[in-house]
Amino acid sequence: MDFHFNNVWTALSDAFPNRAALICEEKTITWSQFNDRAARLASLFEKHGVTNGASVGLYMLNCNEYTEAHFGCFKQSICPVNVNYRYRAEELIYLLDNSDSEVVIYHASFAPRITEIKSSLPKIKLYIQVDDGTDYKNFRAIGEQQRNSHSSQRRNKRSTRKIVCQSTGR
């Protein structure tokens, strides 16, 4: 098997569909669920024109959805960009603009900061808010229910020649 996270994680979901793949606090996701949730996210990216070579800013604390977002990016040959939760508005704008991010996936607790910088990020096509137990509601952000309403992306084996880039800012 060619080593690419998408290929390896997809193979594991086929081999061990009912085993735990992700565990964070009280929430467990099986390999089958992990693959399906990532495929639905990849489908959502595709629907919004976010494809091969694009970047996605991941502005979340450690959680299952953070790893699912990585897998969804890899399924669509998109570069996940880690966004430090301590960044202030100026640093966030710099990182998301400099990385050419087209999507931002963020925890709901960061919604006020996203609202603050949104007008400075014209390249962003899609904002996805992840529930983190806080009570923030944001501007027309797509959440869990909307992501789950998309069908799974068809399976694609990814070439190991694709470049995987992790950016942590300046």
In a domain, 63, yes or no: yes
Cα–Cα distance between 138 and 10 in angstroms, integer? 33
Average pLDDT over residues 105-127: 95
**Count of Cβ atoms closer than 10 Å to residue 132 Cβ:** 16
54: closest CA among 32, 72, 76?
76
In a domain, 153, yes or no: no
**Residues facing residue 103 across a β-bridge:** 56, 126
**Overall pTM surpassing 0.75 (yes/no):** yes
In a domain, 156, yes or no: no
In a domain, 155, yes or no: no
Cα–Cα distance between 22 and 20 in angstroms, integer? 6
- Domain of residue 84, CATH code: 3.40.50.980
Average pLDDT over residues 17-38: 94
In the chain, how many domains are there?
A: 1
Is there a contact between 158 and 6 (Cβ–Cβ < 8 Å)?
Answer: yes
Q: Which domain holds residue 86?
A: 5-148
Which pLDDT tens digit goes with each residue over 58-109?
Answer: 999 999 999 999 999 999 889 999 999 999 999 999 999 999 999 999 999 9
In a domain, 130, yes or no: yes
